[in-house]
Chains A and B, each alone.
Chain A
Amino acid sequence: MRIITHTCSACGTVIAANELEDNRVMKCPGLDCEEVLRFTDLPEDARNHFLEYKEQYQI
């Protein structure tokens, strides 16, 4: 199963795709980081893959 993550460019915190997709737009969960992260920060092929197999990433 392909695991899709995004790394915040400001603080290095790594966020799994399911978390980004849940929120669509979110403040970076890194400590004292003000960066805004979006599901659309992921490359298009990663987003498409995630949406296609979305049920695998839920529990």
Chain B
Amino acid sequence: MKGVLLSGGTGSRLRPITHTGPKQLVPVANKPVIEYAIEDLEAAGITEIGVVLGHKGREEIQELLGDGSKYGVDITYIVQGNPVGLAHAVGCAREFVDDSDFVVYLGDNMLRHGVSDLLESFKTGDYGAGIALQEVSNPEAFGVADVDEQGTVTRLVEKPDDPPSNLALIGMYVFSPTVFDVIDRLEPSWRGELEITDAIQLLLDDGHAIDSHVVTGWWKDTGKPEDILEANRLVLGDKDLKMIGVIEEGAETDGRIELAESAVIEDGAVVRGPVSIAENTTIKSGTYVGPYTSIGANSTLEGIHIENSVVIGGSEITANGRIVDSLLGRNANVESADELLPEGRRLVVGENSQLKL
């Protein structure tokens, strides 16, 4: 079994964060989203991974993942170039996959329980593909599967007005190499892309059995800022957090806190977990870091109250105020305007930023 990790896309819904890098590198609990996918594949025993790259952030992804050896996997890069759809991305992996079954993992998706159960279920029969499903309350917004009592798929419908079930397709698939012949026969959809659901539908039409597995733990597509915050909350809620850094006497800490070796919580600071604080970051006196917050590396916080937020890193946050439910890009600074006249907020805000003042 091999793995194909799809890491293209423009990240347009995550602007301005993605103006300077690919969405797959946005950190959740101080770890790039794509690393969770690599670790999930490795945990399922998949060590040969093809990483499909688009145009955006190609070098940054290669720089982070390298040859995969630091994760105990072997990575082959597949340069898709133009994003002509997920089925095209999968099709580009044909030479890499050869005649093996393979898992397709969307590089900006996170799955609490990983892909092992999906694989095990797929292996129990002679299937052309296996799809991961999750019960949703708004199936009309998703690709929806109709399945029989064995979990074998009988029908797929894209964003149906009258959904046959509440089981939505999530971005996780297993395929037999048969899928490549089907992709060869696909025509671009109305939006000019080769669609993965069309490929699965063709497999069904050809008489191949399609397995399904209903995912019970959380699943998150991290395409939008609020999804990053939610994923951060879910991971911090679950993760084993290690406190290695320095907590000075007089600092008040409570709950589970991940503190990197070179990170410091100074005298007079208050930190309530679950929280993750990365290397070379200092939480100074008068600061409150509240639950479900991740502060990236090389940052200094002084006087601010911050909670349920993600600070990517390299930030100086020294204003006297409260920051909640926020996502701060790399090297973004928030300082006080208290001493400045005329009174007022002073902003240098990039394209596609969103502020609520």
Asked if chains A and B come from one complex, the reply is yes
Chain A interface residues toward B at CB < 8 A: 1-3, 5, 7, 12-16, 18-19, 22, 29-31, 56-59
Do the beta carbons of A19 and B95 come within 8 Å of each other?
no
Q: Is B329 among interface residues, defined by CB-CB distance under 8 A?
A: no
Q: Is B344 among interface residues, defined by CB-CB distance under 8 A?
A: no
Do the beta carbons of B78 and A13 come within 8 Å of each other?
yes
B95 cross-chain contacts in A, Cβ below 8 A:
5, 7, 14
Alpha-carbon distance A7/B98, docked complex (angstroms): 12
Chain B interface residues toward A at CB < 8 A: 50, 53, 58, 62, 66-67, 76-84, 88, 91-96, 183-184, 186-188, 192-194
Q: How far is the CB of A12 from chain B (nearest CB, A)?
A: 5
B187 cross-chain contacts in A, Cβ below 8 A:
1
Alpha-carbon distance A48/B84, docked complex (angstroms): 19
Select which of B66, B82, B194 is within 8 A of A31 by beta carbon: B66
A14 cross-chain contacts in B, Cβ below 8 A:
50, 76-79, 92-93, 95-96
Alpha-carbon distance A7/B96, docked complex (angstroms): 9
A57 cross-chain contacts in B, Cβ below 8 A:
82, 84
Alpha-carbon distance A16/B83, docked complex (angstroms): 11
Q: Contacts A3-B94, A5-B92, A12-B76 given: A18-B82 contact, CB under 8 Å? A: yes
Do the beta carbons of A59 and B184 come within 8 Å of each other?
no
Select which of A19, A22, A31, A56 is within 8 A of B188 by beta carbon: A56
